[in-house]
Structure 1
């Protein structure tokens, strides 16, 4: 998720017989015995048919040590890349193509934030962190000594540094960065205001459909007056084109996650059912790593938790234990603010506040670059946070600027997410789980929960309280009225417990209605997924696990259902359409509004909507700005609906009005369809364009390695609109999807729990578990989890033995052989 698109130009390495032999030798050892120094007791690791490790330990110390070892066996290079991305150290091994990335992340100071967080963790959690790191380092040491590091290290000619507790926490900060897009949205709007003026910019501020689904309704509370977007009067002077260019393209607000839970009164089993499919960058390896953690006391399990972990971090992030199940979605809360800092004209290290000048902190960073001299970077940090402007190739242009742009972000605070995660793993009911969330701060997530007794949803994390702005645009940093006044208290964050309806849905939609007294955000994901999930769930009287599995890959397209009834008549009334354009119109009219891979309707509609956006926005924005437009779907859909009712805004008018824009964009779209799939519309198929098969980072950069490393591409249904989210890149390849899906029926949590992880468990592309789940994932299949001891103990067994047995790393039998 973090580095897939960052590796573009890496020196090719030829595959020799020796390299193939090394690939075979470096595969994960999953049977026999290994000595892991520092263990107190023997640990058993059973791997099932999908390569999921079921780790049995006698205590938590051994459990997390073994988890670190086993995760490193399968994902060490991925872990190292994530660590290097977060710490700004990619260029050291990948070259100068990653220099801007390193500059950005050194400036964001994720490492320093992780170091501050480490200082406030409990002694117990620090002990577990050290145990996990010790396990990772145990594998690194053995792999280095025996020449069994993953092949990527050999190709790039380097060895990993020892794993440290701060590295674990830095990866959690990286997760927060990936789920927090507010600063990029503010940068986009600031540059838009500079280019098009504040009036045109304000017409593209985020909107939410008035009839869109809302998760928590504040019944009985007095309605708070509607809060219009608030922003200060400003004349943009900074040029943020270079900073904007460094951010990722196509920030699709439709990308997100789904989670829902039904109470027992709505299910066939009579117990709650929870479903979760968190949508992330669909990478290879996946962001998630499945694991089953067991601490046994005799025949009883003191800890028994299974689900998706984060490579490089102890514990289970999403999943269930014997008593509860939980999932998450990104709440889309605005937790970042950009402040325009006024610089002292005589001293670039001083910034103003209310007429007084204050010193910025100065950090000197040295970035190592493979094959080139080191690069020196000066990072300035004001009271709001690090200064972003001037970092990415704009230093000369900004040398004489009187202003700078600083980032205020909750993740810069010392935070204790791991404390919460490990407590969640052990919770047995809603009260204990809710108490665990009190230690959680960033990113802000909606946690969906189920037990035999309760279903619930709770927003957790630091949510800023703003007094005079809504975080849509940068604000003056020298004025006190734009400072934050604190954070929303935990007990006042949105929460829903045991609703009478027996349904809870969270899909990045608006979480709270307008009666809620605090401001949360203006920028929510389109309500299409949440609307559809709620529609389907309310239509089922007694839901089964099979119903939930089907809903997770529901490919209905509510956007097409909404817009086509008044867009198609515009085309039908146009007499100058050519034969191919008329054929495309016939396709859209006959289409059932389901994004199936074999159909042509989704293909024509998707290409058309993209062309319509370009026709309306790109002439004024330009390509760079338009490629990074936020809130596009909600804004454009509302503009189309309003224009159909005679309320055309300035953007639609500049495009010639709705009719001209619709027809022109449709004609452009048909030509694009023909260029992509030929001039016979009857042969067009969504799946020929819309394909899934995530590339390995090295395989994406090197065609010579792609055939070995990249996941096989295959046609797939779904889209950026459907519940079964399959968000395509500009070339049609799916880059955002739910690589991990799960459904848990609490009636029998050990026998009625299902999941899948695509493309597979292993990060070794020679492993049978590298992409063994990719086909089933594309087909919408889930597998029954093997949780019961008598089931998972049928798998391959690796014994990890205490170092005191003898000073040898590998033994073939129960008795060490040296």
Structure 2
């Protein structure tokens, strides 16, 4: 929203300058540290008011208040998962000063809301008029009470594993997902599996699902000055989240006495979680800690309000809450809690209730807020020390300081499970309890690794402290990055890992696991009618360019045709049931984040029958080609991956008025340059934000944030970065005052009242 040159803002001590550069990045210059965070909140609301207002309503369970009764069930679900503990303990669990920073940021948001409401038709984003409501003012507690926007694991995996083990057996479960560390699968409560079904987590899905976010991963790496070729370290990060309009990430630069930090965070939060502070650069990926357990409670024979615990009967805590409903009377909802957490499912028939025990409901676990602890870290050691306060989500941080020190550190609060590992639901009768958390000092991490580099991509990371989870992402991206950083001859890229080489690798689309699967099947004598297609796949280098026909064939064939065939043959081999629901868990929809390791296991299981495999390739490849022709037409010259696999950003409220043109996308859920797609082949998952920091020569750092910094369709910065992103481009992340001044296109002074 265009602003006058000056705006009066409540809560400021002194004038604050906000310089917006040509790419829409606000650079805040304040005389007081607190004022910098007030200005950050004001500017975030200026660019993303509808987005953050919806975030608040969704998280607090207050959608029905403006959107009507159809959102009541969502509101009830989200209220189940609010933080409900003591606020004094909550604030004390974060780095020192967090409450003051959050209060300042919220004051800035509210100041913008107040300014916009003085002339709502002119100043509010158009979504508010379209939906017929006004933005709300915030309380600091809103920021920390909301937990369901975080990235938490692994209730869904527990349930899927339980149902697969029950319906198909433990051998079939090994073909559904890869557990790391592996070994025999211990089933701690076989009886509890009998009453479970997919619907057990419906309430949990409502609480943690849209309006919002899907699963997520990331890549990051750090290299020493010797490895970069410049004498300076390089830090690179490209978080993988839903590709949306507006973007999830928001770039900002804050300057004040004792504070100098630039990079990206999320628009509803103060501070910077990915970026640098002029002394230390930092970037994070998800470290998928098992933060959730399903507790299956035995209900009292005649009283649904009590459950078995420790040899007796405990009472559920029941809370009644009143929810305002637009156009109707208030609704009263009942929320039930066991000692293990929110009750999400009750089955009177089987006399069971299921509760979700979530570490992220404990004090200090508001997602990413602990990043405030490292905003002013003086060196690598100080940065690492600040990570001891990190609660959620679990992340792997890479970092480097101007003295040349580099490092990597896993952080987050990991529940300690003694005698069990959280891979399956457990009885909630007191036998399976958490014993505190794993100590930070024992979590994986190292300073100045001898190799001169470190990288993480959500892959299996052993921990001497104990099992943090058994469910990790595919190692395909990590294998590709590790080979590149180690200067493996098999990876034909630059030796020096500088800014330009890192930007290129963030866009790398080599599918290593697809190539591995093809190599496993290379010696098969396939039917003559599909041999030309088979030879094209075997000659393919695994590069999933938008213009590649082989990439198109491989993607359609592997998941949509070969995998179901493999599942059916393997279930026959195991003598397991072909129940459609159970079979579907093995077929898996994994196009957002792929994992071909189970497919490789299934090929291994059938490897003793090459004739069967050859026949399967013939049947499934023929069907894949027929599907491509049905989708793209008979002209095979037009058959490319990008003709089908495209990103079309669709505005959820304004429709065509806020949506953006489709752009072809390379890559897939298997590649470093991740680009996962939905059922319509809309590439909706990936790195809409990418950053590479040249540590010490800060103005040479590069970044992109698609489609633009603003969420207001009327802004010049709404979609000005979409083409840059689609072309795998970037722009400078300017840090020095002189460079910022030269690129400034908009100046604003915020004055105290």
TM-score > 0.5, shorter chain as reference: yes
- Alpha carbons 1:430, 1:449 under 8 Å: kept: yes
Deviations 1:531-561 (A, max 9, x none): 1111112225433211111111011110121
Matched, 1:91 2:64: yes
Inter-partner Cα distance in structure 2 for 1:627 and 1:375: 41
Matches within 5 A, 1:331-730: 331-372=287-328, 374-390=330-346, 398-415=347-364, 420-452=370-402, 453-480=404-431, 482-512=432-462, 516-539=464-487, 540-570=494-524, 572-575=525-528, 577=529, 581-611=530-560, 612-617=562-567, 620-622=579-581, 625=585, 633-643=595-605, 645-646=607-608, 658-698=613-653, 705-730=654-679
Q: Check 1:637–1:133 CA distance in 2 against 1; reply closer, same or farther (3 A cut).
A: same
Counterparts of 2:61 and 2:234 in 1: how far apart (Å)? 42
Matched with 1:165 is 140
Q: Is the 8 A contact 2:249 2:265 kept in 1?
A: yes
Q: Retained in 1: the 8 A contact 2:316–2:337? A: yes
Unpaired stretches in structure 1, ≥5 consecutive residues: 1-26, 211-225, 297-301, 391-397, 649-655, 699-704, 805-818
Contact 2:526 2:614 in 1 (8 A): no
Which whole-Å CA distance do the structure 2 matches of 1:122 and 1:609 have between them?
47
Query: Structure 1 residues 368 and 685, CA, compared in 2 at 3 Å: closer, same or farther?
Result: farther
Equivalent position to 2:195, from 238, 255, 262: 238
1:192 Cα shift?
3.2
Change (3 A) 1:363 1:197: farther
Equivalent residue for 2:574?
none
Corresponding pairs, count:
723
Distance 1:637 1:201, change over 3 A: closer
| Offset at residue 183 of structure 1 (A) | 0.7
- CA distance 1:711–1:609, change in 2 (3 Å): same
Secondary structure in 2 matching 1:695: coil
Match of 1:274 in 2: 235
8 A contact 1:583–1:681 mirrored in 2:
no
Change (3 A) 1:229 1:486: farther
Q: What is the distance in 2 between the residues matched to 1:682 and 1:568? A: 26
CA shift for structure 1 position 34:
0.8
Please give the alpha-carbon distance, in whole angstroms, between the structure 2 residues aligned to 1:607 and 1:412.
40
Alpha-carbon distance in structure 1 between the residues aligned to 2:86 and 2:198:
27
Conserved 8 A contact 1:42-1:802 = yes
What is the Cα-based RMSD across aligned positions, in Å?
A: 2.8
Q: 1:659-704: CA deviations, max 9, x gaps?
A: 4544433233222211111134332110011112322222xxxxxx
What whole-Å deviation, never above 9, does each CA across 1:92-117 have from its counterpart, x for those lacking one? Answer: 33345544433332222356698962
TM-score by length of 1: 0.83
CA distance in 1, matches of 2:111, 2:669: 42
Q: Deviations over 1:535-591 (max 9, x none)?
A: 112225433211111111011110121011233544x5224x3xxx45533432332
Residue 781 (1) aligns with residue 729 (2):
yes
Equivalent residue in structure 2 for 1:796, among 745, 749, 752: 745
Q: Helix, strand or coil for the counterpart of 2:138? A: coil
Deviations 1:217-243 (A, max 9, x none): xxxxxxxxx754332141423343334
Cα distance change of structure 1 residues 113 and 594 upon mapping to structure 2, 3 Å threshold: farther
CA distance in 2, matches of 1:198, 1:538: 37
Per-residue deviation, 1:657: 5.8
Kept after mapping to 2: 8 A contact 1:253/1:632 = no
For the 8 Å contact 2:175–2:601, the answer to whether it is kept is: no
**Residues 579-633 of structure 1, C-alpha deviation per residue, up to 9 Å, x if partnerless?**
xx45533432332210000111111111111123334458534387568668972
Partner of 2:124: 149
Cα shift readout 1:266-289 (whole Å, capped 9, x = no counterpart): 121111111100111111111111
> In structure 1, what is the Cα distance between the partners aligned to 2:245 and 2:186?
41
Q: Closer, same or farther in 2 for the Cα pair 1:626/1:800, shift >3 Å?
A: farther
Deviation at 1:373, TM superposition (A): 5.0
Is 1:262 aligned to residue 213 of structure 2?
A: no
What is the CA–CA distance in structure 1 between the aligned matches of 2:623 and 2:84, rounded to whole Å? 47
- The equivalent residue for 1:79 is 52
What residue number does 2:100 align with? 127
- Separation of aligned partners in 2, 1:228 and 1:195: 18
- Gap regions ≥5 residues in structure 2: 488-493, 569-577
SS in 2 for 1:181: coil
Q: Which residue of 2 aligns with 1:174?
A: 148
